[in-house]
Amino acid sequence: MTTSLFTAPASAQRLQRTATALAAHGFTVEILDDVAAARTRVTELVPQGASVLTAASETLRLSGIDDDLNSSGRYEAIKPRTLAMDRATAADDIRRLRASPDFLVGSAAAVTETGSLVIASGSGSQLPASSGGAARAIWFVGAQKVVPDLDAALRRVEDHCLPLESERALAAYGWPSAVNRLLVLNAEPFPGRSTIVLLREAIGF
């Protein structure tokens, strides 16, 4: 059941505590005010001409970041390219393109005050790039996704994110979603690879 624990934006103190913990685990962390600032920042973080995979994300869709990256013509956009390919004859090429872009841009189901990022997926198609395949990874995370610890993060995935994503998937595809793949990033061993942008406002699931 959705509760205020999973929907209310975290306080400034909790955001800073989360940022400090993530930074201690090797992530580059920024805190921005709102979606407008995030849309500007992504154009500064991703150089023109880079290959970019946008992970399936309501945060990216609602913010306009997904459209900025995939439709502007400034980047080598992996998602529209692979969606236009024949899945029966080009499955291996699709898999390789999605696994190792220059940049992965996405969001997360939860981020913990202890310094972990949790990403859930039905197909797992974006997880290879997220976990290490992409040269750089950037995640934009709304303030309502901050939770105390990993146990709370997993509850947020099951009790809050999954019902909302299933509702969206039923409307879009005719079948519900499922948490078939779960990626927990506890640290970033390669300095400068992973950037987590925390927003002071709520957006997405």
Radius of gyration of the chain (CA): 16
Q: How far apart are CA 201 and CA 33, in angstroms?
A: 7
So what's the pLDDT on residue 3?
A: 58
Smallest Cα–Cα separation from 104: which of 65, 72, 63, 153? 65
Give pTM, 2 decimals.
0.95
Structure tokens that stand for 54 in this block: 């946008």
Give the pLDDT of residue 2. Answer: 47
- Domain assignments of the chain as residue spans, ordered by start: 4-199
Listed residue (91, 69, 90, 89) closest to 80, CA to CA:
69
Element of type H or E holding 138 = strand 136-141
Paired sense of beta strands 103-106 and 117-121, if any: unpaired
Question: Which residues of the chain fall below pLDDT 70?
Answer: 1-3
The domain defined by 4-199 folds into Rossmann fold (3.40.50)
52, 78, 125 from 96: Cα distances, Å: 13, 11, 10
